[in-house]
C-alpha cells in the first residue's frame, strides 16, 4: 500500500467532528504556494486572496489554511500573525463540522483528485466544497500543455463535476466553459459562481528587490521605447509571434522599441527559449528576466511604453488590469475574455504575420505618447468581499470594507 493510501486508511474515521463549533470555518487550500511560490499570475491571486481572507478571520467565521502533499491528505497548515504560511511540524488531518467550507484556492490539480475520499467524508459530515476555476485550457487545448498536466487536470475537473458544491470562475468566459463542459458529460451541475479579480499588486504580499540588470534596463527606458510582455514562456503565450514581429521592426526601423520579457522558462518551448537567448539582439534590444520581484515588475509597468499580450488563451489575463492600474496602453490578442474586461486602454490585434503585428506594435508605441484613460478597477479587498458573499459568509450590503473599485491614477 502506497504512502497516500496508507494515510487515508489510517485516518478514515476522523475526517469529521471537531467538537468545538463556534461558527463556520473556511478551510483554504494552500497546497502549492506553501511549498513554492512560482511567481505566476495564479500565485499572485492566491497570495492576494489568502492574505485578505486571513485579515478578515474572526468576522463571524474563521479562516484556516490547509494543505496536502503526494504522501498525505489535507492537514492543517501553520500561519503566523501576518498570515505567512508554513507546513505543520506535526501533521493533523483536517476534521470538519456542518457548515464548514473547503475553498480550493490554490491550483492543486495534481493533488486534489488523490483525496476524493477525504472530500466525500467532509461532505457527509455537512461541509461543502467550493473550487476556484482559473480556466479549462488543458482540456480545451491539450497540445499547449504536458501530458502529465493534461492528465492531472482531467482528473481535477472530474472532481469539480462529482464532488464540488460550487465552482467559482474567474471570468464569465470560464463560467460558460465550465457549464458547457459539465453539460457535455451529462454530469451534475454544481452552483456556478464568479470571482472578480483585483488589480493592485501592492495588496498581493509583493516581493521586493531590484537587480543591477533591471536598473540598467530602467535607465534605458528613459530614453527609448520598450514594450513589455509578462507571462511564462510556454506555447500559448505567443512569444514566437512577438519575436518575429520585433525582428521585422528591428530590421526596418532604427527607432524600433526594445522587447522586455518577464516570465519563467516554461514547458514545450526549448527551441524558442534557445532562440531568445542566442538572438543577436539579446542583451541589447531583447531582454528576458526569468525571475522578477513584484517591485521590479511594477517599475517596468511604469517605465515601458505599453504591454503586449499575445496569449492565445487565458482564463482572465491579470497583466491587462495591472497595466491599466499603471495607466499603460495594452496591445492584446482579440480574445473574448479580454473584451470581457471592458478596459478603455486596450488595442486589439488578430494577425500574427510579422509585418502586421509589427505595425500594431508601432501603433502601441505611438499611442503611448498620450496618457491612457483612467479605468475603474477592482481591488483585492473588493475581490474578497465578493468571494465571501458568493460563499455565503457575508452579506456585502451590510459590510463596509472601503471602496470596491479603484480609479487608476
pLDDT mean for each 10 residues of the chain (409 residues): 65 64 86 83 92 92 96 95 90 95 95 96 97 97 97 97 97 97 90 95 88 94 95 97 98 95 97 98 96 94 97 96 95 97 96 98 94 90 96 74 49
User: Domain-by-domain residue ranges, the chain?
Assistant: 3-198+380-407, 207-367
pLDDT for residue 206:
83
pLDDT number for residue 403: 47
Say which residues have a Cβ less than 8 Å from residue 335's Cβ, sequence separation at least 6.
Answer: 311, 312, 313, 314, 317
pTM for this one? 0.91
**pLDDT value at residue 272:** 98
Q: What is the CA radius of gyration of the chain?
A: 22
Q: What is the structure's pLDDT at 402? A: 47
* 3-198+380-407 matches 207-367 in fold: yes
What are the C-alpha distances in Å from 181 to residues 16, 51, 148? Answer: 32, 32, 20
Give the separation between CA 192 and CA 348, rounded to whole angstroms: 30
Q: Is 60 left (phi over 0), alpha (psi -120 to 50) or beta?
A: left
Query: To which CATH superfamily is domain 3-198+380-407 assigned?
Result: Glycogen Phosphorylase B; (3.40.50.2000)
At residue 158, the pLDDT reads: 96
What does the pLDDT read at residue 409? Answer: 47
| Contact of 263 with 235, CB cutoff 8 Å | no
Per-residue pLDDT tens digits for 157-213: 999 999 999 999 999 999 999 999 999 888 889 999 999 999 998 888 888 999 999
Q: What is the pLDDT of residue 99?
A: 95
How many CA atoms within 13 Å lie on the side-chain side of 145? 16
Fold of 207-367: Rossmann fold (3.40.50)
Amino acid at each position: 500500500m502506497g504512502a497516500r493510501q496508507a494515510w487515508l486508511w489510517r485516518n478514515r474515521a476522523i475526517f469529521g467532528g471537531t467538537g468545538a463549533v463556534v461558527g463556520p470555518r473556511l478551510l483554504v487550500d494552500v497546497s502549492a504556494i506553501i511549498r513554492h511560490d512560482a511567481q505566476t499570475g495564479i500565485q499572485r491571486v492566491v497570495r492576494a486572496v489568502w492574505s485578505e481572507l486571513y485579515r478578515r478571520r474572526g468576522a463571524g467565521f474563521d479562516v484556516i489554511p490547509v494543505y496536502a502533499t503526494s504522501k498525505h491528505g489535507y492537514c492543517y497548515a501553520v500561519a503566523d500573525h501576518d498570515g505567512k504560511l508554513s507546513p505543520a511540524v506535526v501533521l493533523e488531518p483536517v476534521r470538519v463540522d456542518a457548515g464548514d467550507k473547503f475553498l480550493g484556492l490554490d491550483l492543486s490539480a495534481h493533488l486534489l483528485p488523490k483525496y476524493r475520499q477525504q472530500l466525500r467524508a467532509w461532505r457527509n459530515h455537512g461541509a461543502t466544497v467550493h473550487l476556484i476555476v482559473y480556466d479549462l485550457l488543458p482540456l480545451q487545448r491539450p497540445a499547449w500543455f504536458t501530458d502529465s498536466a493534461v492528465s492531472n487536470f482531467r482528473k481535477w475537473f472530474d472532481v469539480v463535476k462529482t464532488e464540488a458544491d460550487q465552482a467559482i470562475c474567474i471570468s464569465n468566459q470560464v463560467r460558460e466553459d465550465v457549464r458547457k463542459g459539465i453539460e457535455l458529460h451529462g454530469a451534475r451541475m454544481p452552483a456556478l459562481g464568479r470571482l472578480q479579480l483585483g488589480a493592485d499588486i501592492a495588496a498581493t504580499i509583493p516581493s521586493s528587490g531590484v537587480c543591477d540588470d533591471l536598473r540598467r534596463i530602467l535607465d534605458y527606458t528613459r530614453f527609448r521605447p520598450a514594450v513589455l510582455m509578462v507571462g511564462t514562456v510556454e506555447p500559448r503565450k505567443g512569444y514566437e509571434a512577438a519575436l518575429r514581429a520585433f525582428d521585422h521592426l528591428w530590421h526596418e526601423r532604427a527607432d524600433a522599441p526594445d522587447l522586455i520579457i518577464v516570465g519563467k522558462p516554461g514547458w514545450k518551448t526549448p527551441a524558442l527559449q534557445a532562440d531568445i537567448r542566442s538572438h543577436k539582439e539579446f542583451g541589447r534590444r531583447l531582454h528576458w528576466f526569468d525571475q522578477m520581484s513584484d517591485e521590479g515588475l511594477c517599475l517596468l509597468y511604469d517605465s515601458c511604453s505599453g504591454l503586449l499580450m499575445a496569449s492565445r488563451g487565458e482564463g482572465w489575463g491579470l497583466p491587462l488590469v495591472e497595466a491599466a492600474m499603471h495607466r499603460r496602453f495594452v496591445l492584446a490578442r482579440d480574445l473574448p475574455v479580454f473584451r470581457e474586461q471592458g478596459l478603455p486602454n486596450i488595442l486589439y490585434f488578430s494577425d500574427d504575420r510579422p509585418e502586421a503585428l509589427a505595425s500594431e506594435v508601432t501603433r502601441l508605441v505611438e499611442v503611448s505618447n498620450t496618457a491612457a484613460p483612467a479605468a475603474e478597477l477592482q481591488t483585492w479587498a473588493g475581490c474578497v468581499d465578493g468571494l465571501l458573499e458568493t460563499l455565503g459568509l457575508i452579506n456585502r450590503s451590510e459590510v463596509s470594507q472601503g471602496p470596491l473599485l479603484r480609479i487608476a491614477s
